[in-house]
Amino acid sequence: MYAGSSASGFSDKDRGEHRISNFLLWQIAYAEFYFTDVLWPDFDEHVFEGALNAFSLRERRYGGAAPGGA
């Protein structure tokens, strides 16, 4: 992900960290984050499928107001 590339659609962060540490702030403006307790060597096809399922259930608004004006 560099300037001029498309925005990130999916990000995974392991090791129990729930922060981005100023990492590519502009590129991840509307990215969805998935935090998992599964460490990378154990992040297999089934865990990835679960992450994609969780991601697919999210309602992406790209900074817009919530439906119904909430």
What would the two tokens of residue 17 be? 């960290």
Q: What is the pLDDT of residues 6-21, one digit of tens each?
A: 555 566 565 666 777 7
Instruction: Return the residue matching tokens 């119904």.
Output: 68
Residue 8 per-residue DSSP state: P
At 68, the pLDDT band (50, 70, 90 cuts) reads: low
Domain boundaries, the chain: 11-60
60, burial (CB in 10 Å: exposed 0-12, middle 13-18, buried 19+): exposed
Between 56 and 10, the more confident residue is 56
- Do 16 and 40 meet the contact criterion of CB atoms below 8 Å apart? no
Mapped onto helix, strand or coil, the DSSP state of residue 12 is: strand
Against a cut of 0.85, is the pTM above it? no
Instruction: Return the residue matching tokens 């498309």.
Output: 6
